[in-house]
Every structure is written in structure tokens, then in C-alpha cells.
Amino acid sequence: MTQRAMGTAPQSARERVDAARALLARPLLTAAHVEELALVRLHAPALRGMFKTMLGYNLLVESTFARLTKGPVSPDGPARPARRPDNSTFTPATYTHLALLCAALLAPGTGEQTLISTLIDQVRSDAASIGVRIGDSLPERRALVTAIGHLIGWGVLSETDGTATGWGERHDEALLTIHRSVLPHLLTRPLSDMTHPEQLLAVDPQLADQPRRSLRRKLVENPLVRREDLTDAERDVLSRERSELTRMLAENFGLTLEVRAEGALAYDSTGSLTDVAFPGSGTVKQAALLLLAELIEVRQPVAGTTATLDDGRVVPGSVVVRNDVDAVLARLSERYRRAWGAALVEQPDRLRDEVITLLTDLGLATECSAGLVVHPAAARYRPQPQAAQPTRAARRLANQPDQEL
């Protein structure tokens, strides 16, 4: 092997890992993501084979975009909703706007560019034909702009002259460029032969009976996987092929595998694959972290503690009744009222629901009829005990030089 080949091999491997991670983070890469798309195109053959073999995913690479088709999500995985710029999740109305926008952009006669006012007129017309009214109030225009901004972020649209925000706020006209080649690939499957939305979520029978692939997909898509959420076959693979699984995750995606009694964690040390940073800023994340700390302190869970979920499964964790959760959040809201602000503090039910949703999505807790089951993984976020201040005598001894014996 030449010196040049030896020098470029590690770099090429790192580039493939970076490209694979970019596709996991953004399954649709367009001209809006120039560097990532260039890496994917450079290593397209190797990436196609790796994703197909390891995860059962299909990768389409064209000159202007790359689309990783992941397939249906695991039913026991956390939700991955589309989010607004303020990180709040899309409402059903915003998803409706997004679908109507895509339909309008694909309508016959739509060119490579369109005025935003023309596009919105088409959306309102299509909405009216199915009994949905989209008015022209400021909140309704802002909702439409949110959906348009999502398409801009994906690289499906770009603002050529003016901005979507300007139209939303002041009716300022804007010219949008449509990247039409990307549009047909937004959905993972064509809709022409489907009669019910649940068909989009159906698992491919060819993949359902392959525990190695399904375990890899769960770890790559949902870093924290509890044992009770694995099938018997997946648990067997985790036990027997742990070394191979560790190597595969590290070599292809730069992930570090940790296996413990309660499950497995595919850890991303860089944080670039993290869609929900925790702990983090914001009232909900701060409240969730402080809630965990107080519940663990009060409950003092011990190894072997289990709880029964509504579906009958017995899982590791400690049950906290809903009244106790509400009481802790009420105390925290009073204590941090000025820092958190009034938006959520004055809506305790909403704060509780958003905190529980966050903890559930992170795999740290599960809601059940008895209350909230806090899982052992939550102990990772328990505050470190504060060490007592050393006495004056201890400080004096620490400053003395060692005496020879």
C-alpha cells in the first residue's frame, strides 16, 4: 500500500461516517446543505450498500439531492414531530397546510417559480374543495409561513426575491423558486395505491423478521432502548452479538454502545445527531430535569424495583402518582416563577403534560393509569451529592509536606 493510500484511508472512512450521520439527521439533503450533499455524492456507492445491508434503508442520490428512505418508525419509539422555529411542535393545522402546499406545488401547470400570493391562492382553493377554510388573518398567514419555512429548510423551496415572512406580516410579495425534482420524494411511499393512512406506517414483512436489522434501526433512531421494548429475538442478538454491534455502530455512525441491565444506549459524543438536547434551556426542559431530581430524591428507588404498565408489562422503574408529580411541579413553578415566566407557570396542566411528553420521548419515564413510571435511566440526571466543606484541621494537614517515615 502506498503512503498516499495509507494517508487517505482513515480520512475516507471519517467522511463516510460524517455522510451517514448527515443522512440520519436529515434524510433529505438538498442544495441547502452543500457540504453534506457533496460528501454523500462522493461516497454514494458505499453508503447505499451500508444502509441497505445494515438497516434495510434505501438511499437515492441525484445531482441536486439525496434522499434516505428509512421506512416506518418503530411503534414503541418516541415521536419525532416537525417543529417550528421556536421548537414547539407542529399542530394538526400546520401539517394540513404543509400537505396542501406540497399538493399545490405539484399541480399541473406550476412552473419552476411562483409568486407566494399565487401559491397561497391555490392552497386556499384546494382547502375549500375539501371543506377546510384558510382565512387571511395574521395568525393564519403566520401558520402558512411556518409550513412554507419548513419547505425552505428542506430545500424544496427557496426565496428568490422577497421573503415568506414579509408576506405573512405585511402581504409583501415574494418570488419562490421550486426545486421540483425533490417534491416526489418527500413521502417514503407513493399514495396512489393506498386506501388508509395506516398503510404508510405498515412495517415491511421482509424486515419484520430480521432481529439484527430491527435492533440496529432502534439503536440508530432511538438511542435509548429499554429491554422491555425489545423482542425476544432482539434481546438474544443484543446478548450474543454485543461486540459486533458495538463495532458496527462505531465504524458506520460514530456511536458508542453502552449495555446495562435496563437496556442499551447508543451514545453520540458530538451531539450532532441529537434532535432533543437534554438537559437544555427552556422552561419544559428545566422543569423536567428538576422534577426527575426531586422524584428520585423522594422515592429513593433501589435496584430491582419494578412497575406494571397499562398493557400488563412489568418494567424496571418506580411509580409516582399523578398528584405527587403535580405537587412537585407546583413547588418548582413557585420557586422559579420569575425565571420561567408566566406562559407555562400559569397553566400547570399544560406544563405537566409537556414535561411528561418530553420525559416519555427521551425514554426516561412512561405514563400509565397509576401515574408516572420513572425508569432507572433517569438516575443519570440525578444531581451529584454535595461534599461537606473540609474542616480547618483537614485543610491544615493537606497543606503540610509529606513526612518521610
202 within domain boundaries: no
**Segments forming the whole domain that contains residue 316:** 283-381
353 within domain boundaries: yes
Number of other residues whose CB lies within 10 A of the CB of residue 380: 10
pLDDT at 183: 86
241 within domain boundaries: yes
Question: Do 155 and 220 fall within a single domain?
Answer: no
173 within domain boundaries: yes
pLDDT in tens, 24-64: 989 999 988 899 999 999 999 999 999 999 998 999 999 99
Question: Do 368 and 294 fall within a single domain?
Answer: yes
How many distinct structural domains can be found in the chain? 4
pLDDT at 8: 67
Q: What is the mean pLDDT of residues 206-223?
A: 81
Picking from 343, 299, 348, 341, the residue whose alpha carbon sits closest to that of residue 326 is: 348
pTM of the model: 0.78
pLDDT band at 5 (very low <50, low <70, confident <90, very high): very low
pLDDT in tens, 284-339: 899 999 999 888 887 776 777 888 888 888 888 888 888 999 999 999 999 988 88
Question: Do 260 and 287 fall within a single domain?
Answer: no
CB-CB contact of 89 with 82 (8 Å): yes
Question: Do 287 and 376 fall within a single domain?
Answer: yes
pLDDT at 2: 41
275 within domain boundaries: no
Question: CATH number, domain at 355?
Answer: 1.10.10
198 within domain boundaries: no
Question: Do 326 and 252 fall within a single domain?
Answer: no
Structural domain ending residue among the three candidates 168, 185, 202: 185
Question: Do 313 and 354 fall within a single domain?
Answer: yes
pLDDT in tens, 129-154: 989 999 999 999 999 999 999 999 88
CA 350 centroid distance within chain? 21
82 within domain boundaries: no
* Cα–Cα distance measured from residue 216 to residue 233, given in angstroms and rounded to the nearest whole number: 13
21 within domain boundaries: yes
CB-CB contact of 28 with 155 (8 Å): yes
Question: Do 312 and 376 fall within a single domain?
Answer: yes
Question: Do 311 and 351 fall within a single domain?
Answer: yes
In eight-state DSSP terms, residue 91 is P
pLDDT at 44: 95
Strands lying side by side in the sheet with 58-61: 28-29, 66-69, 58-61
Question: Do 371 and 287 fall within a single domain?
Answer: yes
pLDDT band at 365 (very low <50, low <70, confident <90, very high): confident
Question: Do 259 and 287 fall within a single domain?
Answer: no
CB-CB contact of 232 with 271 (8 Å): no
Q: What is the mean pLDDT of residues 4-31?
A: 82
Question: Do 177 and 216 fall within a single domain?
Answer: no
